Amino acid sequence: MKSPVALKRVVRTTAVLGCASVLTLGTLTACTDDSSDSSSAGETSSLPSNAATGDPIKIGFITPEGGAVMTPMVREGGEAAVEYLNNNGGGIGGHKIDLVVCKQQEEPASATKCANQMVEEKVSVVVSPLGAQGAVMLPIVAGAGIPYVAQAPVSQAEMATPGSFMLSGGIVAVLAGQAATAAKDGLKKVSLIIGDSGDAAASVKALGDPMFQRAGVALNVVTIPTGAADLTPQITAGLADNPDAVSILGDTRQCISVLGTAARIGDI
């Protein structure tokens, strides 16, 4: 965020989406330039030959795909990581990884189906790198005694349920950092735009309001329908009070849609 003296209206994109494979963690930042200069790449090296030979271990992998939120690159990254570990990294303690993939569409029905599938297939652990359906899936998974691992907590259930393991501070860390930065830069009003998937918006408001209040900054959480073709009404209403800064929490498509709408109605 920047001081309003330097820029009256700032739109900032906050990356709270990440991807985690069985043994790796990476992040996806919305609305960034994906271009790269291949000429600067170093020499490639041969991969080690260390194939897994032990009995397979089932790892459940639930990812948003096929619905309003699309992250095929997360699944592809997980599959690539498993392929490397199985063929070159010795698997897990010499055991081959059997990745059980389920695609949920960021709505309760498909998320419940995926969670039940993991229980039926008796996976050893469930990895859910992205998505806002943790509050739906976690009770089913943890209730069956299966550990649930996610890159970042979105729902309050993921923050407090036994058997739930988060690899980062997630939305708690993001909101705390934004509140502190806004106060430091002298901002008085911040609008946070987030999709209505799962209970993410409710959790963000419940957590963010007291954090920003303590920092002396007013927070306005603007919820947008994830599948809407036109976000003009929501963005117009959300920016009506002329916030000093805007934060967008969502996947790449949501971010681009929000930025495009704001630019079209003249708020950037």
Give the type of residue at 166: M
Nearest-CA neighbor of 158 among 149, 212, 253?
149
* 127 C-beta neighbours (distance < 10 Å), count: 25
- Answering whether pTM is above 0.85, one says no
Checking if the pLDDT of 253 tops 80, the result is no
Higher pLDDT, 29 or 182: 182
Higher pLDDT, 1 or 39: 39
Interatomic CA distance for residues 180 and 170, integer angstroms: 16
Interatomic CA distance for residues 182 and 178, integer angstroms: 6
Give the type of residue at 141: V
Q: What percent of the chain has pLDDT over 90?
A: 45
Please give the pLDDT value at position 268.
52
Higher pLDDT, 41 or 246: 246
CA distances from 82 to 20, 26, 101, 227, 252 (A): 11, 15, 12, 32, 25
Per-residue pLDDT tens digits for 119-152: 999 999 999 988 889 999 999 999 999 999 998 8
Paired tokens of 140: 């089913």
102 CB-contact burial (10 Å; exposed 0-12 / middle 13-18 / buried 19+): buried
Say if strands 218-224 and 54-64 run parallel, antiparallel, or are unpaired: unpaired
Per-residue pLDDT tens digits for 42-76: 666 777 889 999 999 999 999 999 877 777 888 99
Residue with tokens 């996976």: 123
Question: For the residues of the chain, what is the DSSP string, one character each?
Answer: ---TTT-SSEEEE---EEEE-SS-EEEE-TT------GGG-----PPP-----EEEEEEEEEEE-SSSS--HHHHHHHHHHHHHHHHHS-TBTTEEEEEEEEEE-SSHHHHHHHHHHHHHTT-SEEEE-S-S-HHHHHHHHHHTT--EEESS--SHHHHHSTTEEESS-HHHHHHHHHHHHHHHTT--EEEEEEE-STTHHHHHHHHHHHHHHHTT-EEEEEEE-TT-S--HHHHHHHTTT--SEEEEES-HHHHHHHHHHHHHTT--
Q: For the chain, what's the residue count? A: 268
* Residue 67: φ, ψ to 5°: -125, -145
Q: Give the highest mean pLDDT range of 19-23, 64-68, 189-193, 263-267.
A: 189-193
Interatomic CA distance for residues 221 and 204, integer angstroms: 8
Give the type of residue at 24: T
